[in-house]
Amino acid sequence: MKRNFLMFLGFAIGILIVSLPLSAHHGNAAYDTEKTITLKGTVTQWFWANPHCVLEMDVKDEKGQIVHWGAETENPTTMSHQGWAKASFKPGDEVTVTMITVKNGKPIGRITEVVLPNGQKLAGRIVAPLPAYNPQDPPKQ
């Protein structure tokens, strides 16, 4: 009986250890969720794949230099329910993308909306900003 309990306990601990990185993967800590930017650019590649679809595009910065941006969405199944498709973009398409960006300033973001060349809008994932942390306020239950 004790041996079975110890085996079960070891198995449960192993599952918990493996599952912790999975939940961390979907966090928003890298993104500045309090502001969005809107960029017009030319699609270079559209990855319709798990675990996230990724739109890559070239954008001219204020100095006229080309900056290669990458912006992710959710998985294909989730995005298809919002009107997205594998054929939504092709290289050369001129698109307008609104996104939240990473905090470190790199040209990476998470899409909140895309306007296609024909004017159609595709909604991305809306990421709610995290409430400001104040150590004087107790957590609300």
User: Which tens digits make up the pLDDT trace of 33-83?
Assistant: 888 999 999 999 999 999 999 999 999 999 999 999 999 999 999 999 889
Would residue 46 count as lying in a domain? yes
Would residue 15 count as lying in a domain? no
Number of folded domains that form the chain: 1
More confident residue, 140 or 42: 42
Would residue 72 count as lying in a domain? yes
CB 56 within 8 A of CB 46: yes
Coil, strand, or helix at residue 13? helix
Residue 20: pLDDT band with limits 50, 70, 90? very low
User: Which tens digits make up the pLDDT trace of 112-137?
Assistant: 999 999 999 999 866 555 566 666 77
Would residue 13 count as lying in a domain? no
Would residue 111 count as lying in a domain? yes
Handedness of CA 96, 98, 101, 105 (dihedral sign): positive
The two three-digit tokens of residue 90, written as one number: 């092709």
Domain range for 88:
37-123
Q: What is the CATH number of the domain that holds 76?
A: 2.40.50.1010
Would residue 18 count as lying in a domain? no
